[in-house]
Structure 1
Amino acid sequence: MTCLAVAAVTAGAGLCGLAVLLAAAVVTPVPILSMTAAAIVFLAVAYAGAVLVTARRVSPGHRRTARRVAFTAGSLVPGAVFAWAALAPAPPSPATAMAGASPVQVSTGSTLTVIKLPARGGASRSPIVVVHGGPGVPELQDNAKAFASLTDQGFDVYLYAQLGTDGSTRLDDPRGYTRGRAVADLEGLRSRLGLSKVILIGHSNGGEIAARYLAAHPDRVAGLVLTSPGPLDPADTSVNLVSGRLDPARKAQLYGTLLQPRSLLGYLLLQVNPAAAHAFLPDAEADARNDIVLELARPALYCRGAMPAERPVQGTGFYAMQYPQSATAPRPSDPRPALAGLPTPTLIIKGSCDYLSWRSATTYRDLLPNSRLIYVNGAGHNVYHDGNTTVVAAITAFLTHRPLPLPSYTAAAPPAGYEGPP
């Protein structure tokens, strides 16, 4: 009997147990039932493997003892370690609250955390609503800091945490986190706040949500600003390339965190049954783990060496982020036909260090005839968080109908210094 044979038995039993766990989770969302089934299969396969290994390699007089040793070493000890690692919940992140934040219930049933930055001297222009990215990454404090200067220009600025993030509603069923619900929540918020027409500033995935809102409610949008907008083409998978911008040490930390047994099991359950994942990994714990993952990935959102010393990532929503990308999520509708030709004034901003594809930005430019694309050298995905004053200056100039500080970029191909995919 060899250690290699015992390890092979353990691995085989583990794979069988995991397969049964995921299969059972399709049928029932109750974790104890699927885990019991998995444990029974794991132990049965491990015992059968121990019998097989000892029958071939151990003399008859020592087989019973060898079988016990092999079964204990190959199943009970690793199984107990895995069970401890997978079943012991992590402590949740401390609750965060931003001064001036208020809960606002909208017609969809969502309660959204909203911050209003009132125009200084009174509002004289269309109000601005900032649609954060992720999905599931509210960044309310950083966005408030970035866009506070717009209040000097007569704009009321509203920031809100989308469904499933920060202090906003968490759903019992993760399958409710869809792009359609995000658009409906935004329309409900506009109506609840009594805003006739709004200017939308959408970042990353929030850019896609803002564009989908424009497609559904073109008469409600006075202007659109898209920073590092998420791709509209389902075939564009550049959203998965963020870790490629991390250095090897940081990437190892990130994947080590993602592959922790409990986190990995929650993610796998989400791929087969979101209700089972939610029952196993509740919101508070899932969000706390998500905060850690996104903090480790944060350098990828900036040019190398340019990450600002911001506060740690907090308030993110695991299920709001992961369910729309999961195997069980329905394919989203294509908003491009409804967007094509809309005359809404639009500014698109793309940084040289963005990990998203170049065409994720030019798609919007090509669809919207009254749009302008500007390219910001030395700016990352989070173009307005890295201290680059040109970005907010460009947004301010666009919204106040003044000349932009950067020229429009009209070519189809990216500039020579662009670091992202084409």
Structure 2
Amino acid sequence: MATDQADQADQVPRPEVAPSRGAFTVVRRIAGWLLVVAAIPAGAIGAVVGLVAVAAITGHRVLAAVGAGLVLLVCTGGVVRLAAALVTSRRASRRWLTGAVTAVTAAGVGFLIWGIVFGPTPPSTPLPMTADVRFWHLPTGSRIAYTHTPAQGEARPSPVLLVHGGPGSPDGSRGALVRDLSAGGFDVYDYHQIGAGLSGRLADVGDYTVARHVADLEAIRQVIGAERLALVGASWGGTLIANYLAAHPERVERAVVSSPGEIWAPAGTEAERLTEAGRRDQQEAIGRHPQFLFAQVLLSAAGPRAASTLFPDARMDGVFESMVSDLDMRPGCASGPPSGTEGAWQPRGFGFWANAATSLDAGRVADPRPALRAVTAPVLVLRGECDYIHWNATREYRDLLPNATLLAIDDAGHTIPTHQPDLYRETVRAFLHGEELPRPAYVAADPPW
């Protein structure tokens, strides 16, 4: 009987032992502190998203900053307020914790936004408005600044149009070259591309495209009434000339491309675009001017309206000029620039958004190379010994264009007119006159140096 009662007692369900109240409190507080920690990056990310979103919607930098602050308060302040109830039961402590974490996060994020978006930047140096500057109001909608130097004596039928680099980077004084060509019977037009120098700026920076620059160049030809043009360009100017040749091959009498940029950006990798020394030098220069990179990343990620609102021309033009001032135009050369050329040119009149947006568009355009294979106009390609553009990018002009001639220029970098001014002028003048060049053509596949 006693055994039966014992068995029955064992079969009676026993109540489970509830966890201690202290354990619940510890878990709750840990969860609360984890939420507090998570609220800091959540607020920072939310503030950046809010900044960009409001900038894209309103086109106003101050409103974008206000929007960023409100999003941060909601993300960080709201989450910390909820988390504080798990951390402590005291109302005063909750308020203190919410205010302190929100304030610290706002201060850190505000400091970063101020430094990147609103802080001081290097001033830009505008080009002077001289008495000889005129303007074309093109049918493309572009207001283009230019100077015209008439030919001496009887003018040749095809005027010379100087095409600067960048994009958005007007060249320094080219008075000596202009005088030489004018004396040789050429009307010479030196113009600033849209978005740079004294030319107009576009309200929508997304309108800076390769096609827009090509259309402007063709409109200029029509405005001056030339059947064909002689084009002389450098760096990006070479890329623009190549795209113009592909679109209007019958409108080019002759062309000179000095240190030309790659014909079609999608064809090569970053390693194939620049020399090793040039790539290292550019990375170091951009590292000293992070806004230059931030603005371009934002352009790709969020679009032109948000990017140009947060990084307007007035701020970025000076950053662009300062970054280019830091570049070594002769990377990899053991010797310094030729005597008398150091400091001969300083960036001024630069247009950052013409550069950034056009460069981005250059990676999206259709391949012009099939059309260039049929171009018959004579093209002179000049390559400096220490140009930071990769040799293969330059050589492609010679190999692709049926009537191209490549000359290798010793002791010169990217800016051949600066490093070898006399040889440059002599070579360009001889080529445009159809005369024998001062140096033999370079025909090998590998560089001579």
Q: Which TM class, normalised by the smaller chain length?
A: 0.7 to 0.9
* Cα pair 1:55 1:63 within 8 Å, conserved: yes
* Cα pair 1:166 1:317 within 8 Å, conserved: yes
The worse-fitting range, judged by mean Cα deviation, of 282-291 and 201-210 is 282-291
Aligned counterparts of 2:49 and 2:401: Cα–Cα separation in 1:
47
Once the two structures are TM-superposed, the CA of residue 78 in structure 1 deviates from its matched residue by 1.9
Name the Cα RMSD after superposition.
3.6
Once the two structures are TM-superposed, the CA of residue 302 in structure 1 deviates from its matched residue by 9.1
Aligned counterparts of 2:356 and 2:273: Cα–Cα separation in 1:
12
Which residue pairs with 2:25 in the alignment?
none
Answer yes or no: is 1:138 the counterpart of 2:173: no
The amino acid that maps onto 2:357 is Y
* Cα pair 1:29 1:273 within 8 Å, conserved: no
* Cα pair 1:112 1:160 within 8 Å, conserved: yes
1:218-367 alignment runs, 5 A limit: 218-233=249-264, 234-238=266-270, 241=274, 244-245=277-278, 254-259=286-291, 264=294, 268-269=298-299, 271-297=301-327, 299=329, 303=333, 305-306=336-337, 308-326=342-360, 331-367=364-400
The worse-fitting range, judged by mean Cα deviation, of 165-174 and 217-226 is 217-226
* Cα pair 1:243 1:297 within 8 Å, conserved: no
User: What CA deviation, in whole Å up to 9, does each residue of 1:75-134 have, x standing for no partner?
Assistant: 133234234333356585354225322112222121111112223334246311111111
Aligned counterparts of 1:269 and 1:334: Cα–Cα separation in 2:
23
Which residue pairs with 1:212 in the alignment?
243
Aligned counterparts of 1:178 and 1:372: Cα–Cα separation in 2:
29
Q: Against the structure 1 CA distance between its residues 251 and 356, is the aligned structure 2 distance closer, same or farther, given a 3 Å change threshold?
A: closer
Aligned partner of residue 229 in structure 1, secondary structure: coil
The amino acid that maps onto 2:388 is Y
The worse-fitting range, judged by mean Cα deviation, of 213-222 and 36-45 is 36-45
The amino acid that maps onto 2:256 is V
In structure 2, stretches of 5+ residues that fail to align are: 1-29
Q: TM-score, normalised by structure 1?
A: 0.82
Aligned partner of residue 393 in structure 2, secondary structure: helix
Which residue pairs with 1:102 in the alignment?
134
Q: Against the structure 1 CA distance between its residues 369 and 30, is the aligned structure 2 distance closer, same or farther, given a 3 Å change threshold?
A: same
Once the two structures are TM-superposed, the CA of residue 7 in structure 1 deviates from its matched residue by 9.6
Q: Which of 127, 132, 139 in structure 1 is aligned with 2:159?
A: 127
Once the two structures are TM-superposed, the CA of residue 54 in structure 1 deviates from its matched residue by 8.4
Aligned partner of residue 384 in structure 1, secondary structure: helix
Once the two structures are TM-superposed, the CA of residue 253 in structure 1 deviates from its matched residue by 5.9
Aligned partner of residue 142 in structure 1, secondary structure: coil
Q: Which of 196, 199, 218 in structure 1 is aligned with 2:227?
A: 196
The worse-fitting range, judged by mean Cα deviation, of 44-53 and 393-402 is 44-53
The amino acid that maps onto 2:348 is Q
* Cα pair 1:353 1:378 within 8 Å, conserved: yes
In structure 1, stretches of 5+ residues that fail to align are: 418-422
Q: Determine what percentage of the aligned residue pairs are the same residue.
A: 33
Between the two proteins, the alignment pairs up a number of residues equal to 407
Once the two structures are TM-superposed, the CA of residue 64 in structure 1 deviates from its matched residue by 5.9
Q: TM-score, normalised by structure 2?
A: 0.78
User: What CA deviation, in whole Å up to 9, does each residue of 1:159-183 have, x standing for no partner?
Assistant: 1000111111111111111111111
